[in-house]
């Protein structure tokens, strides 16, 4: 069955890396129909809205979405609701993308790039709740003439249960271990989180569950990242821990991610994107590493049931790295399009 994929190239290096991902996906799946949409800073420049209705309609009607990256200094001074980041949060909420899956794996060919001694053993999946917690809780406001600021951490049983199930199910396809991360010694929302995860666990007797406080998890990630298989956590802790985990692999430009909602017409639906941002410092120079975007395409194919296509891309990326081809972030001098060329040639 042919696929309709919405493409948000975005800002900064987004268009450069997304172009390579589209080239590779086209080679693997010539039947994919790509439709481009404006979003983030580019959409604000076009119509004053980072998440225009026309973009929402296109995304909602697509089989899935491929996103580059958004944001940059050009849009930093805008009122909060107009920023590219507000567009991103708005999209996650509007499309109900509650499950953020971030694999962090050190490639054998890049083991020396890890800044951490034990980094070569890193192969984990962070399952982060994406539409709740402190990024969405109300009230969020200033009081007392702007001298007091309030954010609110809220979680409901339903929100915790559905993300916990995603984590247990993902663990079944990996090494059958879930570490649920919270701050239950201090936060009431974390106590609820822990209780709900405990009630879900018996449905997955084949998966081992452990609870870990977020501060000690941050330490263990550096000391012994190899012990983690699936990390299940909330929006704020997941944001921070997943960036920490990505650095352990030594290569921000290598890591893909998926933000998933409930299946649509029985099929997975989500936004697939590199974990890196728009990298304004290197935008327009053809030096960005496009592999995270290309691997995001593989993750998308996998979620949509084409594990053969996904496997082909992943195998080829491994082969290209093993052959010594490297962009600047990996210590080489190959450009963005040349890295795309190498992947296409290996395919």
Ligand X SMILES: NC(=O)c1ccc[n+]([C@@H]2O[C@H](COP(=O)([O-])OP(=O)(O)OC[C@H]3O[C@@H](n4cnc5c(N)ncnc54)[C@H](O)[C@@H]3O)[C@@H](O)[C@H]2O)c1
Question: Looking at 182, 183, 306, 329, which residue is catalytic?
Answer: 183
Of the CA atoms within 13 Å of residue 27, those in its CB half-sphere come to 20
In the complex with ligand X, the residue whose CB is nearer, 166 or 276, is 276
Active site residue 215: yes
Among 52, 71, 238, 270, binds ligand X (CB under 6 A): 71
Query: What part of residues 88-107 is at the interface with ligand X (CB under 6 A)?
Result: 88
Half-sphere exposure in the Cβ direction for 236 (13 Å, CA):
17
259 near ligand X, rule: CB under 6 A: no
Return the range that interacts with ligand X (CB under 6 A); candidates 131-139, 190-198, 210-218, 279-287. Answer: 279-287
* Residue among 5, 70, 171, 196 that touches ligand X (CB under 6 A): 70
Whether 97 contacts 257, CB under 8 Å: no
**Sequential DSSP letters for 106-126:** --GGGGGG-SSTTGGG-EEEE
- d(C-alpha 84, C-alpha 14), whole Å: 13
- Clarify whether 243 is annotated catalytic: yes
The interaxial angle of helices 307-322 and 291-303, nearest 10 deg, is 160
Q: Return the range that interacts with ligand X (CB under 6 A); candidates 45-53, 199-207, 288-296, 307-315.
A: 288-296
For residue 84, which phi and psi values (nearest 5 degrees)?
Answer: -55, -35
Catalytic residue among 215, 262, 281, 308: 215
Q: Which residue has the tokens 């004053």?
A: 48
The gap between the terminal CA atoms of the chain, to the nearest Å, is: 22
* Residue 135 annotated to the active site: yes
- Closest approach, Cβ 85 to ligand X, in A, equals 5
What binding mask, one character per residue, do residues 213-252 give for ligand X by CB under 6 A, x or -?
---------------------------------------x
Counting contacts by CB under 6 A, is residue 318 touching ligand X?
A: no
Contact between 329 and ligand X per CB under 6 A: yes
Is 44 part of the annotated catalytic residue set? Answer: no
Identified binder of ligand X from the candidate list 190, 259, 278, 342, rule CB under 6 A: 278
Which parts of this chain interact with ligand X (CB under 6 A)? 13, 17, 69-72, 85, 88, 252-253, 273, 276-282, 288-289, 292, 329
Query: Among all residues, which ones are annotated catalytic?
Result: 135, 183, 215, 239, 243
């Amino acid at each position: 069955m042919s696929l309709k994929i919405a493409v948000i190239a975005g800002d900064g290096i987004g268009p450069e890396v997304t172009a390579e991902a589209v080239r590779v996906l086209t080679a693997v799946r010539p039947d994919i129909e790509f439709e481009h949409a404006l979003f983030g800073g580019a959409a604000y420049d076009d119509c004053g809205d980072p998440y225009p209705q026309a973009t929402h309609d296109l995304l909602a009607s697509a089989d899935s979405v491929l996103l580059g990256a958004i944001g940059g200094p050009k849009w930093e001074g805008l009122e909060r609701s107009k920023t590219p980041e507000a567009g991103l949060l708005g999209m996650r909420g509007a499309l109900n993308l509650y499950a953020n899956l971030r694999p962090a794996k050190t490639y054998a060919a890049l083991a020396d790039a890890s800044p951490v001694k034990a980094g070569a053993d890193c192969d984990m999946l962070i399952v982060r709740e994406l539409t709740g917690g402190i990024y969405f809780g109300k009230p969020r406001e200033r009081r007392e003439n702007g001298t007091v600021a309030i954010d609110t951490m809220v979680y409901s049983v339903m929100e915790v249960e559905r993300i916990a199930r995603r984590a247990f199910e993902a663990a079944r396809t990996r090494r059958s271990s879930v570490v649920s991360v919270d701050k239950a010694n201090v936060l009431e929302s974390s106590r609820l989180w822990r209780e709900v995860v405990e009630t879900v666990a018996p449905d997955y007797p084949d998966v081992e569950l452990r609870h870990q406080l977020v501060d000690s998890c941050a330490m263990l990630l550096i000391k012994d990242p190899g012990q983690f298989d699936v990390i299940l956590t909330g929006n704020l802790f997941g944001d921070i821990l997943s960036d920490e985990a990505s650095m352990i692999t030594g290569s921000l430009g290598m890591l893909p991610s998926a933000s998933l909602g409930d299946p649509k017409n029985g099929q997975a639906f989500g936004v697939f994107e590199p974990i890196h941002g728009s990298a304004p410092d290197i935008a327009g120079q053809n030096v960005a590493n496009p592999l995270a975007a290309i691997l995001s395409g593989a993750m998308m194919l996998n979620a949509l049931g084409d594990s053969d296509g996904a496997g082909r891309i992943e195998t080829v990326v491994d082969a290209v790295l093993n052959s010594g081809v490297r962009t600047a972030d990996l210590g080489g001098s190959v450009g963005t399009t040349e890295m795309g060329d190498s992947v296409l040639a290996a395919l």
